[in-house]
């Protein structure tokens, strides 16, 4: 159909194009931007970037310890946390489902609502112990919960232990320069402590739980340990009970108490007792062994090893510090 040759209103005709209008074209971007619409050409985000965005957009409850977590640690933590209902179900198959909140080391974990800074610190211990391998950390956490239930950890902690035998072989005294509690094991104080290996293990676990009770999981989640073999007879090295107790306790702490050790010092240890270190070496991972230090005897020798970590005001005089000795 041709365009009319004459129109009654020439003013309108002057603004009408002579040729048919072109087919409608897609609207162009505003001249102020050359970016395409975000959904049109968006590329898939990398997992790392998604995690970064998630942290920014979905802020986690924080404390001084969680603020030190890395992005890969946060990613692993979220993955493990999402599996907590299944972890609890596996650990406590005979309990009603869903499993009620569980308290471990004074921190209550609710699988249905686990977003809590102290819970994050506890879960991170299992992840770090397994190099952020989430399935391995899940297995470790599950087995720890099972062991604590079977061992009846609450009864072990509340039990009474002979004061004459165990009263002087474990002390919690002072803090290191980072504020961590310092825990002393004084095996030369009573040669009968190892007469019954099972009783010793129960006492040792109860003492470990008491030491952990000094941690708040907000600013501190590790202890510094000192094992003092002063006064231990060289016959100690030939006693099967001590060897069995050392091996059993080490394995328990390796399997069910992850990442509680900042540093460990063996002091006043005669060379004949070097088997103690070799037991650790055969059981513990390399990164844990790296925290262990063999120290000789003598106040000045021990002080040289400990004072870089513990202020003199927090270190008993017997080890070269200024603090009073144990009562």
C-beta of residue 216 within 8 angstroms of C-beta of residue 300: no
Report pLDDT digits (tens) over 103-137.
999 999 999 999 999 999 999 999 999 999 999 99
- pLDDT (average), residues 146-172: 96
**Confidence class for position 91, pLDDT limits 50, 70, 90:** very high
Q: For residue 51, what pLDDT is reported? A: 52
Q: Distance between CA atoms of 203 and 184, rounded to whole angstroms?
A: 14
| Bigger pLDDT: 277 vs 301 | 301
Q: For residue 8, what pLDDT is reported? A: 40
Rounded (5°) CA angle 54-59-60: 110
Fold classification of 155-319 (topology level): Phosphatidylinositol Transfer Protein Sec14p (3.40.525)
Work out the mean pLDDT of the chain and round it to a whole number: 83
Q: For residue 294, what pLDDT is reported? A: 86
Q: For residue 239, what pLDDT is reported? A: 76
Q: For residue 87, what pLDDT is reported? A: 98
Q: Distance between CA atoms of 327 and 115, rounded to whole angstroms?
A: 43
**Confidence class for position 188, pLDDT limits 50, 70, 90:** confident
Instruction: Say how many Å lie between the first and final Cα of the chain, rounded.
Output: 113
Q: Distance between CA atoms of 207 and 201, rounded to whole angstroms?
A: 10
Q: Distance between CA atoms of 119 and 109, rounded to whole angstroms?
A: 6
Q: Which residue has the tokens 């899940």?
A: 138
pLDDT at 176 over 80: yes
Counting residues of the chain whose pLDDT is more than 90, the rounded percentage is 63
SS3 per residue for the chain: CCCCCCCCCHHHHHHCCCCCCCCCCCCCCCCCCCCCCHHHHCCCCCHHHHHHHHHHHCCCCCCCCHHHCCHHHHHHHHHHHHCHHHHHHHHCCCCCCCCCCEEECCEEECCCCCCCHHHHHHHHHHHHHCCCCHHHHHHHHHHHHHHHHHHCHHHHHHCCCCHHHHCCCEEEEEECCCCCEEEEEECCCCCCCCCCHHHHHHHHHHHHHHHHCCCCCCCCCCEEEEEECCCCCHHHHHCHHHHHHHHHHHHHHHHHCCCCEEEEEEECCCHHHCHHHHHHHHHCCHHHHCCEEECCCCHHHHHHHHCCCCCHHHCEHHHCCCECCCC
| Bigger pLDDT: 2 vs 169 | 169
**Confidence class for position 282, pLDDT limits 50, 70, 90:** low
Q: Out of 1.20.120, 3.30.1360, 1.10.8, 3.10.50, select the CATH number for domain 57-151.
A: 1.10.8
pLDDT at 10 over 50: no
Q: For residue 278, what pLDDT is reported? A: 63
pLDDT at 199 over 90: yes
**Confidence class for position 277, pLDDT limits 50, 70, 90:** low
**Confidence class for position 287, pLDDT limits 50, 70, 90:** confident
Distance of CA 319 to the CA centre of its chain: 30
Q: Which of 72-76, 138-142, 184-188, 309-313 is the least confident region? A: 184-188
| Bridge partner residues of 186 (DSSP) | 228
Residues 6+ apart with CB under 8 A from 190: 164, 165, 166, 168, 169
Based on the number of CB atoms within 10 Å of its own CB, is 306 exposed (0-12), middle (13-18) or buried (19 or more)?
Answer: buried
**Confidence class for position 19, pLDDT limits 50, 70, 90:** very low
C-beta of residue 104 within 8 angstroms of C-beta of residue 88: no
Q: Which token pair is 255?
A: 């399997």
Which of 8-12, 36-40, 160-164 has the highest mean predicted lDDT (pLDDT)? Answer: 160-164
Question: Domain residues of the chain, as ranges?
Answer: 57-151, 155-319
C-beta of residue 127 within 8 angstroms of C-beta of residue 121: no
């Amino acid at each position: 159909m041709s365009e009319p040759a004459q129109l009654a209103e020439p003013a309108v005709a002057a603004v009408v194009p002579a040729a048919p209008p072109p087919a409608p074209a897609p609207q162009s971007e505003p001249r102020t931007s050359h970016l395409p619409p975000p959904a049109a050409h968006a590329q898939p985000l990398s997992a790392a970037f998604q995690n970064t965005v998630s942290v920014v957009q979905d802020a986690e409850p924080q404390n001084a310890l969680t603020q030190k977590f890395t992005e890969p640690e946060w990613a692993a933590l979220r993955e493990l946390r999402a599996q907590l209902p299944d972890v609890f179900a596996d650990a406590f198959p005979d309990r009603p489902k869903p499993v009620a909140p569980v308290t471990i080391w004074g921190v209550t974990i609710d699988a249905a609502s686990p977003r809590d800074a102290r819970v994050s610190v506890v879960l991170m211990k299992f992840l770090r112990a397994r190099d952020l391998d989430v399935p391995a950390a899940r297995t470790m956490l599950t087995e720890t919960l099972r062991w604590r239930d079977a061992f009846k950890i609450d009864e072990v902690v509340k039990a009474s232990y002979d004061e004459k035998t165990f009263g002087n072989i474990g002390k919690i005294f002072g803090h290191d320069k980072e504020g961590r509690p310092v825990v002393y094991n004084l095996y030369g104080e009573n040669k009968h402590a190892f007469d019954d290996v099972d009783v010793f293990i129960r006492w040792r676990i109860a003492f470990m739980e008491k030491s952990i009770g000094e941690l708040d999981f907000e600013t501190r989640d590790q202890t510094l340990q000192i094992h003092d073999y002063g006064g231990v007879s060289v016959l100690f090295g030939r006693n099967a009970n001590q060897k069995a107790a050392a091996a059993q306790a080490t394995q328990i702490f390796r399997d069910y108490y992850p990442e509680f050790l900042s540093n460990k010092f063996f002091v006043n240890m005669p060379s004949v007792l070097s088997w103690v270190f070799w037991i650790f070496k055969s059981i513990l991972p390399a990164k844990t062994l790296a925290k262990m230090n063999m120290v000789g005897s003598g106040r000045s020798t021990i002080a040289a090893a400990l004072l870089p970590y513990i202020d003199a005001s927090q270190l008993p005089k017997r080890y070269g510090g200024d603090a009073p000795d144990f009562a």
